[in-house]
Amino acid sequence: MDSKVIFFFALLSFLSLSSFSASASAFAEEDQNVQDPALVMNFYSDSCPQAEDIISEQVKLLYKRHKNTAFSWLRNIFHDCAVESCDASLLLDSTRRSLSEKETDRSFGLRNFRYIETIKEAVERECPGVVSCADILVLSAREGIVRVGGPHIPLKTGRRDGTRSRADILEQYLPDHNESISVVLDKFAAIGIDTPGLVALLGSHSVGRTHCVKLVHRLYPEVDPQLNPAHIPHMLHKCPDAIPDPKAVQYVRNDRGTPMVLDNNYYRNILDDKGLLLVDHQLAYDKRTRPYVKKMAKSQDYFFKEFSRAITILSENNPLTGTKGEIRKQCNLSNKNN
């Protein structure tokens, strides 16, 4: 064969390979740039238009029967969404291979999970297999906040459910009430919540109650001198044992003035040394947080504004969307275990 002909075919082959390589690279780069769908407002407007109304109505009915459900839903969003992803991993039961987050020490006092199942069942009757437990957890928290007098917070939806418990890493993310305020600030900052956001979120301590297990170290063997002397007799009356039974009904109301209302009275209480937990006291006196505590004590509008912003950030922490995760049939079981 003529050498010119051979050269032509060689050149043609090289150009074809180069073109294929460039196309493959372009496709690979395009694939890398594809992002998971973002959360959006009214995600279920087409697939389940009644979803948010059903959740809201169920929360109202359950709150009417069991007032403490609102506190549970408020705690749920923190304990789930602060731990790596807002994916309802908190709701999963233990299996032979993994411990449930619900059964860890950090989840002490969490309860009323059965009512999340009640809401899920109501939504499933309308739209089977459409609405995630992660979105139900977030929206029930939003509605619970309203039930206790807090602001209505517009929240995005479109989350999908995780398939595994995160009990093994929970303590890396959830701050303990006995940790220093620096550690608490750092853990919140890691998920995008700044100092005023942290101060506002801890305003959740305005409602509900604290089990004596969590506060007896401030009463026994000696009373913490940082506690308001006028508040001590009540705490000792409610917590008469240095080693309380975790299963006993021994609690102290977080706010004796308005115990069922989410309001800025919490900040006035901690400035008056009536905070039950060590973190409450630190919040009031640390130079980084005290200015915001004082501002929120004066203005409920400011507290609600920062609280709404912080809840929004928390609810959007690293969600599963698109094809990640699943839509659980039951909130306490992944589909493979159902």
- Name the residues annotated as catalytic: 79
Hey, what are 311's tokens? Answer: 């809840």
Q: Pick from 152, 5, 170, 145: which is nearest to 85 by CA?
A: 170
Residue type for 110, please? Answer: L
- Neighbouring CB atoms inside 10 A of 111's CB total 13
Give dist(CA 237, CA 304) in Å, integer: 33
- Can you spell out the DSSP letters for 201-268? HGGGGGSSEEEGGGTGGGTSSS--TTS-TTTHHHHHHH---SS--TTS--EEES-SSSTTS-STHHHH
- Neighbouring CB atoms inside 10 A of 313's CB total 17
